[in-house]
Amino acid sequence: MPFINDVIEDNKKLNDESKSMLDGSRATRFRFDPDQAIALLKTRIIGQADMHDSIADMLHVVKADFGSGERPLAVFLFVGSTGVGKTETVKVLTEAILGSASQMCRIDMNTLAQEHYTAALTGAPPGYVGSKENHTLFDFEKIEGTYSKPGIVLFDEIEKSSKEVARALLNVLDSGRLELSAGTKRLNFNNCLIFMTSNEGARELDGYRRKFESGWRKYLGHRPCRTKEQEILNHALQKKFDLEFINRIDRIVFFEELGHHFLDDILSVELVMLNKRLARHQVSIKLDDTARQYLVGRHDPRFGARHLRRRIRAHLEPELARALNADPGCSSFLATCHSEKLIVCPD
């Protein structure tokens, strides 16, 4: 019933304007706090100051609500090496705005590597099986969001999809519309934040960085040039994607390599998340300095934070599980390291 929906929306706008006149605040339909969202992002995503600033700028513009309404609220592309927090950023942002990371519509583009997979997004064309059912990977409700909160869509690893699949998104990124192939339904992305992630150029970027780990560059203390790193990624993106596609992106955000000086902070974040899971069993764990050094001491920066998470899963969690099973009544455990072996015992 479109008419009733229009009346309800108009009433909401009037209520917002009335409240604004009473308390002196500026009327906006969005009910999220950009500063709170960025604060959560900073506690969970380490070492990406430029990304924090870019997301903060975008959230304040969205919150102000003066967009044209004829395109998505924002279109961002996150690029950089694996394990630096690109996908996790969207998850945390969704949690901050919508309450749970499960509320975003995530499309894993590595499953759409062949051009005929375009139908997975746009639906089967007329005359083909399923054309009348409007089958698509998109979740209509998560895309459209609500009156007070935007929808969030993540196209993860966009570079692994076929060129035809990427081209099928041109109208989505430009006008915020996608008409399914059968012509019977149109998806609206105009109340939506669109994020894409890409590892394109990561191999070339890693090769450039490795040059500074030995030879005369290391001897003279030279370090990789950030501008050069961005040039490498930009060149890789322009080789991979049509210019029409790149031109529809509001901002390309370059994620930094996670150096050793960030590892202790990242470990603290991972420990907080582990203790949240343990809290369901009224259990907690702490790490002493030897355990922390054991987990971060063999870090391979090529794999980012995921390498540290794997070490936690492979070395800390099994020992913690053994300690829990051996002493189910204990609620606090301490991890330490002796003779190159991680040990977990009651605290």
pLDDT digits (tens, 9 = 90+) for 74-85: 999 999 988 899
- Using CA atoms, how far apart are residues 163 and 50, in angstroms rounded to an integer? 29
Kindly tell me if the per-residue pLDDT of 198 is higher than 70. Answer: yes
Rounded CA separation 346/163 (Å): 55
pLDDT band per the 50, 70, 90 thresholds, residue 210? confident
Share of the chain above pLDDT 90, in %: 58
- Alpha-carbon distance of 74 to 228, in angstroms, equals 27
Residue-level pLDDT at 276:
94
Q: Which helix (H) or strand (E) holds 186?
A: strand 186-188
Residues 179-190, mean pLDDT to the nearest whole number: 78
What is the C-alpha separation between 137 and 343, in angstroms, rounded?
A: 45
Q: What is the pLDDT of residues 254-276, one digit of tens each?
A: 999 888 888 999 999 999 999 99
| Mean per-residue pLDDT, 29-35 | 94
Other CB atoms within 10 A of residue 269 CB: 16
Q: What angle do CA 224, 226, 229 make, to 5 degrees?
A: 80
Sign of the dihedral through C-alpha 308, 311, 316, 322: positive
Q: pLDDT for 295-343, tens place per residue? A: 988 777 778 888 899 999 999 999 999 999 999 889 999 999 988 889 9
Q: Quick check: 7 pLDDT over 50?
A: no
- 334 by DSSP, 3-state: which? strand
Domains and CATH numbers, the chain: 31-257 (3.40.50.300), 261-346 (1.10.8.60)
What pLDDT score does 146 carry? 93
Lowest mean pLDDT among 24-28, 184-188, 201-205: 24-28
* Secondary structure element (H or E) that encloses residue 341, with its range: strand 341-346
